[in-house]
Structure formats: C-alpha cells, structure tokens
A = this chain, B = another copy of it.
Amino acid sequence: MKRSNGADETSMKMGEHKIIEIICRNIEHMPNMAAPFGDDVSALYLSDNKVAVLKTDMLVGKTDVPRGMDLMQAARKAVVMNVSDFASKGIQPMAALVALGLPEGYSEKDITEIAKGLNSGAREYGAFIVGGDTNESSDLVISVMLYGIADKSSLILRKGAKPGDILAVTGFFGKSAAGLRILMDGLKAPKGADKLIDAVLNPKARLAEGKALSNSDAVSAAIDSSDGLAWSLNELSRFNDVGFLLDNIPTADETREFAEFNKLDPVELTLYGGEEYELVVTVKPDKWDIAKEAVEAAGGQLIKIGKVLSEKENSWSSDGKKKLIEPRGWEHFKTHL
C-alpha cells in the first residue's frame, strides 16, 4: 500500500472531482430528481412520496483488492461498498445487479467464490442478486448496481447540516488503515491483529444504524466514510457550506495500540484512513437523545465527535490547540490479487 502525501492525495481526489464535474457539465440533467446529482445515491420519484433509489459503484482488482483478500471477500466487498451508500441515506436495498469483468483463466472455483461473495454481501443486508452480465477484461472488475424503494421523506441527503448540529459517527476509526498496514506492509500489531485485518477483509455496512437514523428523523445530513473520515467531512462541508470542529477523535482502541506499537500517528490513521464504512452524520441538537437511542436500539452506537460551524473550515482541537483537517483520503492500494 502506498500512503500518499497530502499533495498527491489532493490531486488524486481533485482528479476524481474534476472528472465528475466534467461529466456533470456535459449531460442533460433529469428534471425533478429526489436527490441531487452527486449525492451518494440517485433517487427518482415513483409517486409524491415514493422514490426508487439507485446506486452504482465499481470494484477494480488493482485498486480495491488488497493483498490477502480472496475472491469471495472481494465480491462481498463490492456489494458492501454499495450497501454502505444506501445505509448512509437510510435506505433498505432490495436487489443488486452485477456486471463482471473477469481476467482470462478464472476457474470454476474462482467463479463460485465470486458468486458466493456476491450472494453473501447481498443477503447479509436483506437484498438479492437479481441479474448481471459477464465480460472478459484485464482487471477483475465487479460493478454492482443497487436498487431499493423508499419514502422520499426517509431519504437522508448530504445536504441539510446546519451550524450548531452535532457531528457524530457510528463507530471508531482506523482499524482498516491499520489492517491494511499489516496486510500490505507486514507491520505487526501487539494484539488484536485479527480484528484489524478482518476490518479490511470483511467490512460491514451500517445499514441498521442508517435505517434507525432515518426513522428517528433526527439527522440533518449524512455520508459514509469509504474515502476516509477527513474526506467525508470535506464532502459534507462542500455540500452544506459549513465547517466542522472535532473535539473527540474517534480512534479505535486497537488502532491506538497498533499506532503506539509501530510509532505511527493514531490521528493520521483515524482521519485519513479509508476503506471504512462508518456513517458520518449531523444530528439536530434537540434530537440527539432520540438519535442515539434509535441507533443503540438497532444494535449500534452513535459517537459524538464534534459540531457543525458556520465557518467553512474543518479542524480538530487537541490540548487547547486547533489543527486543520486536510481534504485528503487514503490512496488506493495498487496490488493485484
């Protein structure tokens, strides 16, 4: 795994934004969409308050499949990546379609593993694989499209955060970043290495949490954290024209121990990790208790990490000092299976 320095990462991310911006500029936009272009999902009205929700996200072997991840895990991850976006909007996925690009020479066992991984990723979250397409390609490519139906009013968008809202997340960060360092760079963990590696190989989408938050009507904006917590904050900041001040960096205990053991910065692993599928949400302050109880009733946790500010700057405070959160994430790891 190559961890980027700030400049590289920003240019990579700028590149992706630039690509999306160019595409946006050159297509005719559908009138009256239920979620703005660029949000985590697309939503189309079925009636006044029913929407069809659609999402596509592609897994590419060389950038999304780290050393140590098998085909079943890769296929499952391709589905989970998409489910996570549904989770961040509070939407139950119903069905997935999968377009596969397979390198030459895959065996029946390989295809079976892929099928089982796809099925597992879908069924864990109540969805079914309902169709697809197979092709030959140089890379392993697993392009998943997810579909669901929801009340328009239940859809949590990226836009909606207001100054004064509470910033919260559904779990502690940095486990995947640490796990990747173990898998890719051979670093050691003092204990709990299995848990760190498992975070990479078997990521979980926070669907129950997202649905509970949607039902609670307490959340003003949400996004998942697949590109890293810092990057998610940057996106929420951009969509809402607000900033964030974090007073509680949500580092997982295992990550802290791993960082200490390897003389790494736990904050770096927490903020600029990625390949993590927690939800990052802003909660209306008078509804904090409702939101927290709803998530806990769904078996999850909601951790207060800071607040929304009107000034468009993201920072975290430590020992009374304020440090800027940079708009960067984790560079994809460039390793073939």
A23 close to B132 (CB less than 8 A): yes
Asked if A62 is at the interface (CB within 8 A of a chain B CB), the reply is yes
B42 close to A136 (CB less than 8 A): no
B19 close to A134 (CB less than 8 A): yes
CA distance A139 to B61 in the complex (A): 12
B60 close to A98 (CB less than 8 A): no
Instruction: Please give, as numbers and ranges, the residues of chain B lying within 8 Å of A332 by CB-CB distance.
Output: 136
Other-chain residue from B63, B108, B111, B123 in contact with A28 (beta carbon distance below 8 A): B123
B44 close to A115 (CB less than 8 A): no
A115 close to B26 (CB less than 8 A): yes
B139 close to A41 (CB less than 8 A): no
Asked if A295 is at the interface (CB within 8 A of a chain B CB), the reply is no
Number of residues on chain A facing chain B (CB within 8 A): 64
Which listed segment binds B: A141-149, A267-275, A282-290?
A141-149
Other-chain residue from B58, B139, B149 in contact with A46 (beta carbon distance below 8 A): B149
Given contacts A27-B129, A129-B27, A130-B42, contact A145 B54 (CB under 8 A): yes
B139 close to A138 (CB less than 8 A): yes
- Residue among A46, A123, A133 with the highest chain B CB neighbour number at 10 A: A133
Instruction: Please give, as numbers and ranges, the residues of chain B lying within 8 Å of A60 by CB-CB distance.
Output: 101, 135-137, 141
Instruction: Please give, as numbers and ranges, the residues of chain B lying within 8 Å of A139 by CB-CB distance.
Output: 101, 137-139, 141
Other-chain residue from B33, B42, B95, B138 in contact with A54 (beta carbon distance below 8 A): B95
Q: How many copies does the complex hold?
A: 2
Asked if A69 is at the interface (CB within 8 A of a chain B CB), the reply is no
CA distance A128 to B29 in the complex (A): 7
Q: How far is the CB of A73 from chain B (nearest CB, A)?
A: 15
Q: How far is the CB of A51 from chain B (nearest CB, A)?
A: 11
- Bitwise interface map of A from 133 to 172 toward B, beta carbon under 8 Å scored 1, else 0: 1111111010101010100000000000000000000000
Q: How far is the CB of A40 from chain B (nearest CB, A)?
A: 9
Given contacts A19-B134, A37-B131, A42-B95, contact A147 B54 (CB under 8 A): yes
B54 close to A130 (CB less than 8 A): yes
Asked if A249 is at the interface (CB within 8 A of a chain B CB), the reply is no
Q: How far is the CB of A133 from chain B (nearest CB, A)?
A: 5
Q: How far is the CB of A80 from chain B (nearest CB, A)?
A: 15
CA distance A128 to B139 in the complex (A): 29
Other-chain residue from B27, B129, B143, B147 in contact with A44 (beta carbon distance below 8 A): B147
Given contacts A138-B138, A139-B101, contact A56 B25 (CB under 8 A): no
Instruction: Please give, as numbers and ranges, the residues of chain B lying within 8 Å of A337 by CB-CB distance.
Output: none
Asked if A303 is at the interface (CB within 8 A of a chain B CB), the reply is no
A130 close to B44 (CB less than 8 A): yes
Asked if A22 is at the interface (CB within 8 A of a chain B CB), the reply is yes
Q: How far is the CB of A159 from chain B (nearest CB, A)?
A: 16
Other-chain residue from B18, B58, B94, B118 in contact with A99 (beta carbon distance below 8 A): B58
* Cβ-closest 5 pairs across A and B: A26-B115, A30-B128, A42-B131, A143-B143, A58-B99
